[in-house]
Amino acid sequence: MIIKLSEMKTTLTFILLFLFQLGFSQKEFKTEKLLIDFDFAVEQLHLLHQGFYNYEQKDIVDAKIEKLKNEIDSPMTKLEFYEIMRKLLGIMNEGHGSVDLPTWTMVKTGLSKSFFPLSVQFFDSKLVVTQNYGDNTKGLLQGDRIISINGKSIEDVINRLLPLIPTDGFNETSSYEWLGGVNLSLLYRLVYGKQETFNLEVIEYGTEKVKSFQLPAVKFTKFKSKNGKFNFKQFEYESFVYRRINDSVGYLSIPDFYSRSDFPFFYKESFKKIKEQNIKHLILDIQDNVGGIEGNENLLFHYLTPTVIKKYKEVTMLRAAYLKNKNDKDYIFDKWQLKDTIAYRGEFTCYSDYFSDLGYQKPNEDYIYNGKLYILTSGVTFSGGAEFASMIKMTNRGVFIGEETGGAYEGNVSGYSEDVKLPKTKIKFDIPTVHFKIDVNPKEIGRGIIPDYKVPQTWEDYMTNKNTKLEFTLNLITNSNESN
């Protein structure tokens, strides 16, 4: 959960942390210096972050850390050590932190022609070309399915890249989502080094024809909308939308909890229409919701129920992080108090009617929706988006359709963060410090909300601009009405 807009690094942080940080340096650091940085990173993470032992026993996690440390047995370049740091962050199973190379190192590689020129997306395990930022290549089409790059199967490539993508807990959807867009290109550059060309094998959509291409590498600066060779596909769930589908069904899309200054107005107007139109089935689409500012998802929740619930068991922070900021006005507003080695946020902030300092009022009771509710989710549903889903799940308020949420059912470590620079390599960590513990006791820890109906976006529906999850839900509602 992100607390303040001024503090906010949207939950796309861990996607975008690669955008300008794939630096390259041939200089090797001595093993002793790397070990100093490794130990310093572990020390700072223990001091500031509460994520190391959220999902696995201490002895298991410590053994993983020691095994990773043992990989530093010879001099390494900064880039090689950066991979080690990415893996260290991944051991915590917390998706909000980030680790960055120094700016000068990032820029050097960004200006080199060494990047895979395609944007991609997974559709139910199929990796599909969505955009081309390179040369016009005859026969290469939007929707082609990639099966190999430079002689390596796409399965081998993905298995090499996935460990570098931190996730909340043991999530099985979000890491594939974060490989979408141009992130595969950026990660490929990090892991496989500089490439001048890419030999690509694809399967053509609709024909099963295998095609081969040789694509020249591009500079990072080519990844701009104006350079895209294909039409960009837009989906309704990427925008704030309310519309009536028919006499009894309404559709509401909330793609984030941070980008509007008028959330109360948008919610009020939408639910006023829902009331006036006598909607019986509301489809609430949060499959693109990456989170945002605490309070915005709480307000939306209270348009779906008048009941105030205890959202968090507790909200905590380690002593070192608290002492750095205890005089901050927002800490004072939230009534943080230090008890021994842990600071606790005020009890009143643990309930669903806490809107932080946004000044929101509870919804007009006349507009609270009490009909049937369907929640559409995906691996992108993260942070505040996942916390909203958790509130719906813990109150059994709706039916979940789609894919496992990217955020864990039981909460996350996010909110305020601290910057730490390693003394020798100057690699930088951004360490979130607030542990938001949702008031639930899941049967399986470290997983997102598993949908009642698993419905991934299909390759076919992507090509025809259909929202697979929405189409499934409409059929579910129709069949349900017919059986009543």
pLDDT tens per residue, range 229-279: 999 999 999 999 999 999 999 999 999 999 999 999 999 999 999 999 999
Q: What's the predicted TM-score (pTM) here?
A: 0.92
Mean of pLDDT values over 98-127: 83
Mean of pLDDT values over 465-481: 95
Contact of 401 with 476, CB cutoff 8 Å = yes
Indicate if the pLDDT at residue 5 is higher than 70: no
pLDDT tens per residue, range 120-171: 999 988 999 999 999 999 999 999 999 999 999 999 999 999 888 889 999 9
What's residue 220's pLDDT? 87
* 153-168 exposure pattern, b = at least 16 Cβ within 10 A, e = fewer: ebeebbeebeebbbbb
Provide the sign of the torsion angle of the four alpha carbons 210, 216, 220, 221, taken in this order: negative
CA atoms of 340 and 317, how far apart (whole Å): 11
Which pLDDT band holds residue 102 (cuts at 50, 70, 90)?
Answer: confident
pLDDT tens per residue, range 35-71: 999 999 999 999 999 988 999 999 999 999 999 999 9
Domain range summary for the chain, segments of one domain joined by +: 13-102, 118-227, 236-417+433-483
Mean of pLDDT values over 172-196: 90
Strand partners, 314: 437
Indicate if the pLDDT at residue 34 is higher than 70: yes
Mean of pLDDT values over 296-314: 97
Q: How far is CA 26 from CA 32, 77, 422, 423, in A?
A: 18, 6, 19, 19
Average pLDDT, the chain: 91
What's residue 25's pLDDT? 43
Which pLDDT band holds residue 332 (cuts at 50, 70, 90)?
Answer: very high
* 358-380 exposure pattern, b = at least 16 Cβ within 10 A, e = fewer: bebeebeeebbbeebbbbbbbbb
Within 10 angstroms of residue 209's Cβ, the number of other Cβ atoms is 11
CA atoms of 190 and 165, how far apart (whole Å): 12
Indicate if the pLDDT at residue 6 is higher than 80: no
Which pLDDT band holds residue 13 (cuts at 50, 70, 90)?
Answer: very low
Contact of 408 with 450, CB cutoff 8 Å = no
Which pLDDT band holds residue 107 (cuts at 50, 70, 90)?
Answer: low
Which percentage of the chain shows pLDDT scores above 70?
Answer: 92
Mean of pLDDT values over 468-481: 94
Q: Which CATH number fits domain 118-227: 1.10.287.130, 3.30.70.380, 2.30.42.10, 1.20.1440.60?
A: 2.30.42.10
Third-level CATH fold of 236-417+433-483: 2-enoyl-CoA Hydratase; Chain A, domain 1 (3.90.226)
Q: What is the CA radius of gyration of the chain?
A: 23
* Closest alpha carbon to 128 in 140, 146, 154: 146
Indicate if the pLDDT at residue 117 is higher than 90: yes
CA atoms of 332 and 338, how far apart (whole Å): 12
Mean of pLDDT values over 337-360: 94
Indicate if the pLDDT at residue 484 is higher than 70: no
* Between residues 481 and 398, the one the model is more confident about: 398
Which pLDDT band holds residue 108 (cuts at 50, 70, 90)?
Answer: low
